[in-house]
Amino acid sequence: MTQPGLVAHPLTYVREQRGWTQAHVASVVAQGRNMATWKQKVNRWERRGVRPEPSAQRALAEALGVPPRLVDAHPWPEWLLYADDSPVSAAWSAEHARSTLAGTVSALTDRRGFLTLSGAAIGVIAAGWTEPWRLVPQEKVARSLRGGRTDHELVSAIEKRLADLWTLDDLVGGEITARLAVNDLELVTGLLTGSSYTLDVERRLFKVAGGLCRQAGWGAFDAGRPAAAERYWHAGLRAAKEARDVDGGVYILSNMAMQRFYAGDGAAAVELLEASRGSRGRLSRTVLAMLDTWQVRAYAKLGDRVLAGRALARAEAHWERRDPEDDPAWIYWMQRPSTTIEPNLAMLELGQPAEVPRNLAHWVDLDRGEYPRDHALALTVVATAQIQMGQVDAAVATGRRALALLRSVDSGRVGDELYLMLDRLPDDRVSGEFREEVAEETRSG
């Protein structure tokens, strides 16, 4: 469910950036033909997802300065993303990490309600993360002072605030915690660009900047702001690489993968998760279990039951062999893979609902918990499984519990899943009453 005020189509965004009307686009592509007809076509391209004919795409690409090879290589509307300058291909360096962070602080104001990284750009980011990391010569430790001095004590205080945001996000959802993370990110970016520090402090600043970008991106994704999420994660990945924070970078890549499979792009999700697994450095068994757990959902989007089953088996094996002492602090939320939400959503997508209520039984049996957003999502998944098995009354009862939990948490992502569940309900009196309850809650919220 796109947030109000967000631009839903790349062509709309490109037009607004250039001050073009739909009539102007029509004049570009009409080439002397009926203008009234072409204005209607442009409207359908944006509002109804209609694909323009090849000649119209070529004419528009020429006006936008997009090379024909990109139009041929990328389906509509993906090639429109190349009309917008992107820092994705910039060198992976401390200087570019600083400039990307500085340019990303305001990403929550990004009005694009669609993913802005093409499949090729995902590949560039994944390759940039996995290529060998540079060693910093010791002589670079000595730096000229540029203002005040940043010390370890200040960085520790910011790190503590980041850890607090993790648990706050569990309680209230993405929108609020994204804004709080951005406030701290602005502070860290200012320290990186305007203060002096030792090499050790610099690495810690880049690490906490990467963590704040991860949190801001997650909050933006959860709130239904996909373009903002991508911008934060891209900046965070650069910061994590400068900090040599393998775990932090892997977490960012896995979040990017989750956004991709929620958008239906299983192939890009697999690529990002494979890049995570190929990171230089040792990953804990719990982190590897998380990556395989989320890859189950990516393979489900590709319709591949065999690979999805193998990924889940790998995840379970990693879980059995895990050592919690090896885990990064941020993965506190991970539990046995088969009992987590994403592989059970995958089972629904692959037409296997029978095991879902049993796998998620701990959520069904929970009266109150520390994770209202995940609780609401899990109940929504169970309700969807009940619908697929013909248990409509049970599905409505479960859905009502999910709706009650959503009243206390801000998550457009979970709200979208609830509406998808509603769409699957048959038209009868019970489901009709539930739809009215959801509609009333939406109006009052």
pLDDT by residue (tens digit) across 51-63? 888 888 888 888 8
Question: Quick one: pLDDT at residue 117?
Answer: 67
Phi, psi of 149 (to 5 degrees): -100, 130
- Looking at the whole model, is its pTM more than 0.75? no
Question: Quick one: pLDDT at residue 171?
Answer: 82
Question: Quick one: pLDDT at residue 369?
Answer: 66
Nearest to 290 by CA among 235, 231, 363, 342: 342
CA triple 334-337-268, angle to 5 deg: 90
Question: Quick one: pLDDT at residue 119?
Answer: 64
Q: Give me the chain's average pLDDT, please.
A: 83
H helical segments located in 223-284: 226-243, 246-262, 266-277
Minimum mean pLDDT range among 36-50, 246-260, 276-290: 36-50
Minimum mean pLDDT range among 31-45, 236-250, 261-275, 286-300: 31-45
Q: For residues 36 and 142, is the Cβ–Cβ distance under 8 A?
A: no
Fold of 10-83: 434 Repressor (Amino-terminal Domain) (1.10.260)
Nearest to 296 by CA among 238, 339, 247, 237: 339
**Dihedral of the alpha carbons of 107, 109, 113, 114, in degrees to the nearest 10:** -20
Give me the amino acid identity at 177. Answer: T
Band (pLDDT 50/70/90 cuts) for residue 328 is very high
Q: For residues 315 and 293, is the Cβ–Cβ distance under 8 A?
A: yes
pLDDT tens string 98-114: 777 777 777 766 667 66
Q: For residues 236 and 217, is the Cβ–Cβ distance under 8 A?
A: yes
Band (pLDDT 50/70/90 cuts) for residue 127 is low
Minimum mean pLDDT range among 38-52, 107-121, 309-323: 107-121
Residue that wins the pLDDT comparison between 382 and 428: 382
Q: For residues 200 and 88, is the Cβ–Cβ distance under 8 A?
A: no
pLDDT tens string 347-383: 999 999 999 999 999 998 887 667 889 999 999 999 9
Question: Quick one: pLDDT at residue 143?
Answer: 36
pLDDT at 235 over 70: yes
Distance of alpha carbon 124 from its chain centroid, rounded?
A: 17
Strands (E), 322-437: none
Highest mean pLDDT, choosing among 111-120, 166-175, 236-245: 236-245
Nearest to 283 by CA among 235, 247, 229: 247
Contacts of 62 (CB under 8 A, 6+ apart): none
Q: For residues 208 and 95, is the Cβ–Cβ distance under 8 A?
A: no
Nearest to 285 by CA among 313, 334, 318: 318
Phi, psi of 212 (to 5 degrees): -70, -40
Residue that wins the pLDDT comparison between 73 and 13: 13
Q: For residues 417 and 402, is the Cβ–Cβ distance under 8 A?
A: no
d(Cα 150, Cα 335) in Å, to the nearest integer? 38
Band (pLDDT 50/70/90 cuts) for residue 141 is very low
Highest mean pLDDT, choosing among 25-39, 50-64, 113-127, 313-327: 313-327
Nearest to 364 by CA among 353, 346, 352, 380: 380
Question: Quick one: pLDDT at residue 135?
Answer: 43
Nearest to 372 by CA among 401, 343, 339: 401
